[in-house]
Amino acid sequence: MAKKKFYITTAIDYVNAAPHIGHAYQKIVADALARWHRLLGEDVFFLTGTDEHGKKVQLSAEKAGKSPREFVDEVSEKFKEAWKLLNVRPDRFIRTTDEDHKKIVREIIEKVKKKGEVYLGTYEGLYCVDCEAYYTDKDAPDFKCPVHKKPLENLKEESYFFKLSKYKDFLLELYEKHPEFVLPNKSRNEVRNRVEEGLKDLSISRTSFDWGIPFPGDERHVVYVWFDALLNYYTATQASKKLNKFWPADVHVLGVDNTWFHTVYWPAMLKAAGLPLPKTVFNHGFLTFNGQKISKSLGNVISPKVLVEKYGADTIRYFVLRQFPFATGDSADFSERALVDRHNNELANKLGNLVSRVSTLAEKYGLEKCKITNLRIEETRKKVEKYFESFEIDRALNEIFAFVDRCNEFVQDKKPWETHDKKVLYELANAIKDAAILLSSFIPSTCEKIASIFGFSISLEDLEKELKIGKIKKSEILFRKI
């Protein structure tokens, strides 16, 4: 029987600047979701990457005194390095400068042109270079970008247009019949309200700069970065016959600033090209720092590399997955004080201390197999599965740590350091196995260490059977107090 497939993508990041913790939050969430579905035995494809075309990138390259190609190659590597440090493991890191992507973009535009969905005209409007997006007077009444707080440019140029306006009814019907297409609910309501007001045709080419994919049939133009970038999700599934099965995506994980592009432009583009639509576009809130969105332009960037060197990858992963309620779509403030508190009180005191105590006693007194009666994982596992399905990742993690709390209470109650009870130690060791397997999507490196100490594998098979008794050695300190 064929495995169930799960295709998850993140936003691809602009390479005008190095990665920051705001980028990392999204990638960690997507990696945890991908690892969870792999644990369930599904066939998973996880995609992330970099968005490398557009005026913003060209200007950043000029400022750095480099060619656009040199510039994007250097910055793209920084994103790859950051995700590797955080143990984020995509199946493909796509770049919009990849040749297979350029080919797909040209093919899709030709296809949409043949259907009569593209025409040549002139565009004039307010434009933010940092967003690579146009704004209306209603969106920006003070003529400043609502995201970057910079004055908007008035841009006028010849452009090819995609007939977005004709897809209003299609989109409204999509939101009505498939509410899961836009999550959380508040994002869907906001998008639907804006679409009901009407849509303008979308400018999909530029002539004011040349760093982009040449527009098919008219190379005076380059493809507008959003029409180019959105297609990366489809490109990745066309790289081989083996990957074709993954389209359409099961979930696009995106920040709220990308909502409009992915819930209006993207489904209309796919409909015009005759391609199936993704199941869910999930729009999460920003990480903020002192109440402001983290971004280079605001000067409040926190580097993932610096954080990993200071605290370790699993602490960063645990903190952002536990601290911020992803499913609500709300923004949340990043605090190093809160990170240190969670590291010390939860990772070190609760999980680290439990593993240290039980492994030390098991090495000294051994284990004796017994019926598991006190520390059963089934109810915890059911709740965790339910929370993952609804993207309540912080609640899933909280549920596992409630089980860890029960284990610590059991240790205190049974006092195996006094009784030397091998059956109590076996039940605790088995519970640590279960907790570590469920935690492996969140803090993978730590869970692999725990698996090697107690002699099990991070797998659904080992979750569903009891721990084999083997020689256990005292654990190293998993989380040193900060």
pLDDT digits (tens, 9 = 90+) for 81-92: 999 999 999 999
For residue 131, what pLDDT is reported?
73
Q: How confident is the model at residue 166 (pLDDT cuts 50, 70, 90)?
A: very high
For residue 290, what pLDDT is reported?
61
Residue 299 domain-assigned (yes or no): no
CB count in 10 Å sphere of residue 91:
15
DSSP 8-state symbol, 297 = G
For residue 333, what pLDDT is reported?
83
pLDDT digits (tens, 9 = 90+) for 340-354: 999 999 999 999 999
Indicate which residue of 37, 102, 128, 407 is catalytic: 128
Question: What's the rounded Cα separation, in Å, for the pair 471 and 456?
Answer: 12
pLDDT at 299 over 60: no
For residue 253, what pLDDT is reported?
97
Residue 411 domain-assigned (yes or no): yes
Residue 73 domain-assigned (yes or no): no
Instruction: Provide the CATH number for the domain around residue 447.
Output: 1.10.730.10
Q: How confident is the model at residue 286 (pLDDT cuts 50, 70, 90)?
A: confident
Question: What's the rounded Cα separation, in Å, for the pair 244 and 234?
Answer: 9
Mean pLDDT, the chain, integer: 93
pLDDT at 148 over 80: no
pLDDT at 293 over 90: no
Q: How confident is the model at residue 135 (pLDDT cuts 50, 70, 90)?
A: confident
For residue 48, what pLDDT is reported?
98
For residue 119, what pLDDT is reported?
96
Q: Please indicate whether residue 131 is annotated as part of the active site.
A: yes
Q: Please indicate whether residue 447 is annotated as part of the active site.
A: no
Domain limits for position 414:
343-463
**Lowest mean per-residue pLDDT among 16-30, 373-387, 418-432:** 16-30
**Lowest mean per-residue pLDDT among 120-124, 141-145, 415-419:** 141-145
DSSP 8-state symbol, 238 = G
Indicate which residue of 55, 56, 102, 145 is catalytic: 145
3-state helix, strand, coil in the chain (%, to 5): 50, 15, 35
Q: Please indicate whether residue 145 is annotated as part of the active site.
A: yes
Give CA separation, 99 vs 96, 185, 214, 339, in Å.
8, 37, 13, 41
pLDDT at 193 over 90: yes
Q: Residue 253: helix, strand or coil by DSSP?
A: strand
pLDDT at 125 over 80: no
Q: Please indicate whether residue 23 is annotated as part of the active site.
A: yes
pLDDT at 259 over 70: yes
Indicate which residue of 56, 131, 284, 422 is catalytic: 131
Question: What's the rounded Cα separation, in Å, for the pair 473 and 470?
Answer: 10
Q: Determine contact, residues 321/394, Cβ cutoff 8 Å.
A: yes
Residue 223 domain-assigned (yes or no): no
The three-point CA angle 435-253-137 to 5° equals: 145
Q: Please indicate whether residue 293 is annotated as part of the active site.
A: yes
pLDDT digits (tens, 9 = 90+) for 55-64: 889 999 999 9
Indicate which residue of 296, 350, 369, 423 is catalytic: 296
Q: Which two tokens mark 160?
A: 């090819």
Residue 416 domain-assigned (yes or no): yes
Contacts of 419 (CB under 8 A, 6+ apart): none
Indicate which residue of 221, 293, 383, 422 is catalytic: 293
**Closest listed residue to residue 153, CA positions, set 169, 172, 130, 171:** 130
Indicate which residue of 27, 37, 148, 383 is catalytic: 148
* Cα radius of gyration rounded to whole Å, the chain: 25
- Our count of domains for the chain comes to 1
Compute the average pLDDT of residues 161-172: 97
Residue 273 domain-assigned (yes or no): no
Q: How confident is the model at residue 291 (pLDDT cuts 50, 70, 90)?
A: low
For residue 288, what pLDDT is reported?
75
DSSP per residue over 432-477, as a string?
Answer: HHHHHHHHTTTSHHHHHHHHHHHT--SSHHHHSSPPPP----PPP-
Residue 48 domain-assigned (yes or no): no
Compute the average pLDDT of residues 216-239: 95
Answering whether pTM is above 0.85, one says: yes
Q: Please indicate whether residue 296 is annotated as part of the active site.
A: yes
Residue 468 domain-assigned (yes or no): no
For residue 301, what pLDDT is reported?
65
